[in-house]
Amino acid sequence: MTTPTLAPPQTPLDVERVRADFPILGISARGKPLVYLDNAATSQKPRSVIEATSTYYEAQNGNIHRGVHYLSELATILYDETRATAQRFFNARHAHEIIFTRGTTEGINLVASGFAQSVLKPGDEIVLSTLEHHSNIVPWQLACERSGAQLRVVPVTESGELDIEAYHQLLNDRTRLVAITWVSNALGTINPVRDLVNAAHTRGIPVLLDGAQAAPHITVDVQEVGCDFFVCSSHKMLGPTGVGILYGTEAWLDRLPPYQGGGDMIDTVTFEKTTWARLPSKFEAGTPDIAGVVAFKHAMDYLDRVGLERIAAHEHEVVEYATRQVQEIPGLRVIGTAAQKAGVLSFVMDCAHPHDIGTILDSEGIAIRAGHHCAQPLMRRFGVPSTARASFYLYNTRDEVDVLVSALHKVRSLFA
Ligand code: PMP
C-alpha cells in the first residue's frame, strides 16, 4: 500500500506529490486532461483507499459481529478500527458515540425520525437556515408532519452569511433543536458554529451540525464545538460512497429510539417485546457497507498525514486566486462572498445559463457543477434558479484555475 511521505505541517502542501496518489487525476475527459472541480459533490480517492477496498474483498471479507471464524473476526476488528479512527479524528469522548450510516443524509434522517417519535410535540420549533442543503430541510419537514412541530428559518445576508441577530431572535422556549450546516455546499460560507452552539445551549437547546462540507476541509473537534450531533459523508473526504458518520453525545443517543429494526441492533427478541442493543449497535441494524467502512479509515489517515490545516491553507490560496481571476471576466457575478469561505466558487454569467457553462467546460475536460446544488431556497434568496460552481480540494492547482478561466473566456466569446 502506498503511503505519501509528505513534509511537516508548517511547509506548504506539495500538490504534485498529492496528485500522484490519485490515479483518476491522470485520465483524459473528452480528450483533454481532466480538471476535476466538483469536489463539493464528491472527492476523488487516493490509491490507499482504493487498495484498502480491494484488499478487503481479496483477503478480509466476512460478516461482522456474527461469526466465530477467522474472517468474521478480522472484518469486525477492521470495522471497529475505523470507528476508533473516527473517534480520534472528530475527538468524540467515546467510540460508541460514532454511528456508521450511509452518509450525511441518513444521519440527519435518523435524528429527525427519532425527534419526531420521542421529542417533538405540536407547536415545537426547529431552527434551520436558508443555507441548508435539502438533506437538512426535508427530513425536518417530514418530522414536522409527523409531530406537529414547525420550522423556523434563519435568513442570510447579501454576502451569504447567516443573519446572526435573526438567529438569536428565533431561539425561544419552543425551540427543540437547531439543525444547521457548518459549511454551505452552494456558497462555501463557513458558519460560526461554536457561537451558534453556545447561544443554543444557553437556552438548553441541542444542536445538530451538518458537517458534510466541513469534515473534508476543517479540523472538527466535536467536544470543543460542543454540538450534540454531527453528521458527515465519507465520499466527500476521500473515502468511499455509501458510508457516513453520525456523532451524537451518549446522552442523546441513549435517549433517541432506534431508527431501523433488524439484526445486530437488539439485545433480546421475543414476539411480545424486543430490547435494544447498547450503543453503537442500537443504530446499526443489518449488514452495513463493511468494505466501505474499512476503507474510510484510510481516507481519514490520509487527511491526517497531509494535515487538514495545510489542506485548508492550500484551498484558501487556490480559491482566492480563482476568485480574483474570474472577477476579471465581464458579466460574471460571484454568488457568496462571505468573509469566512471554504474552497467553493459559485457564479453566474449574464451571457450564458449555468448548464451551458457546464457543458462548454465539460468539452474542455473541466468538471464543475451547474444547478441548484440541492439548495433551492438559497437559490431563490439570491434570485437565481441555479449557479455554476467550481469547488476545490487538496489536489487542485493554480494551473487548473487558469484552464478554468480561459474556458470561461471561451464561454463568453461564444455566447456574449
Ligand atoms: N449536506 C451538505 C451541506 C452537503 O453538501 C451534502 C452533499 N452535497 C449533503 C448534506 C448530503 O450528503 P450525502 O448525499 O453524502 O448524504
Q: Cβ-count burial of 165 within 10 angstroms (0-12 exposed, 13-18 middle, 19+ buried)? A: exposed
**Residues 62-90: tens digit of each pLDDT:** 999 877 999 999 999 999 999 999 999 99
Residues of the chain with CATH 3.40.640.10: 51-304
Distance (angstroms) between ligand 1 centre and the Cα of 371 equals 15
Q: According to the model, what pLDDT value does residue 271 have?
A: 95
Ligand 1 atom with minimal separation from the 241 CA: 15
What confidence category does residue 10 fall into, taking pLDDT thresholds of 50, 70 and 90? Answer: low
Residue 33: is the preceding peptide bond cis (ω within 30°)?
Answer: no
Helix (H, G, I), strand (E, B) or coil at 49: helix
pTM for the model stands at 0.96
pLDDT higher than 50, residue 387: yes
| Residue of minimum CA distance from atom 8 in ligand 1 | 41
pLDDT higher than 90, residue 34: yes
What confidence category does residue 117 fall into, taking pLDDT thresholds of 50, 70 and 90? Answer: very high
Number of neighbouring beta carbons within 10 Å of residue 257: 14
Rounded-to-integer distance, Cα 99 and Cα 340, Å: 30
CATH architecture of 15-45+308-415: Alpha-Beta Complex (3.90)
Ligand 1 atom with minimal separation from the 104 CA: 16
Q: According to the model, what pLDDT value does residue 1 have?
A: 41
**Residues 206-220: tens digit of each pLDDT:** 999 999 999 999 999
Ligand 1 atom with minimal separation from the 373 CA: 8
Asked if 108 contacts 233 with a C-beta cutoff of 8 angstroms, the reply is no
| Residue of minimum CA distance from atom 6 in ligand 1 | 212
Q: Is 374 annotated as catalytic? A: yes
Residues 6+ apart with CB under 8 A from 363: 30
Q: According to the model, what pLDDT value does residue 67 have?
A: 78
Asked if 194 contacts 142 with a C-beta cutoff of 8 angstroms, the reply is no
For CA atoms 371, 375, 378, 380, give the dihedral sign: positive
Distance (angstroms) between ligand 1 centre and the Cα of 67 equals 34
| Residue located via cell numbers 466538483 | 38
| Residue located via cell numbers 468474521 | 72
Q: Cβ-count burial of 118 within 10 angstroms (0-12 exposed, 13-18 middle, 19+ buried)? A: exposed
E strand segments, 204-360: 207-210, 229-233, 244-248, 266-269, 274-276, 332-335, 344-349
Nearest CA to 258 out of 232, 288, 285, 233 is that of: 285
pLDDT higher than 60, residue 12: yes
pLDDT higher than 50, residue 93: yes
pLDDT higher than 60, residue 47: yes
For range 235-239, the mean pLDDT: 98
Pick the CATH number of 51-304 from 3.30.750.24, 3.20.20.120, 3.40.640.10, 2.60.40.10: 3.40.640.10
To which H or E segment does residue 35 belong?
strand 35-36
Distance (angstroms) between ligand 1 centre and the Cα of 232 equals 8
pLDDT higher than 80, residue 239: yes
Q: According to the model, what pLDDT value does residue 66 have?
A: 76
* Cell numbers found for residue 386: 441555479
Q: According to the model, what pLDDT value does residue 78 have?
A: 98
Q: Average model confidence (pLDDT) for the chain?
A: 96
Ligand 1 atom with minimal separation from the 210 CA: 1
Which residues, judged by CB distance below 6 Å to any ligand atom, belong to the binding site of ligand 1?
103-105, 133, 135-136, 181, 185, 210, 212-213, 233, 374
Distance (angstroms) between ligand 1 centre and the Cα of 135 equals 6
Residues of the chain with CATH 3.90.1150.10: 15-45+308-415
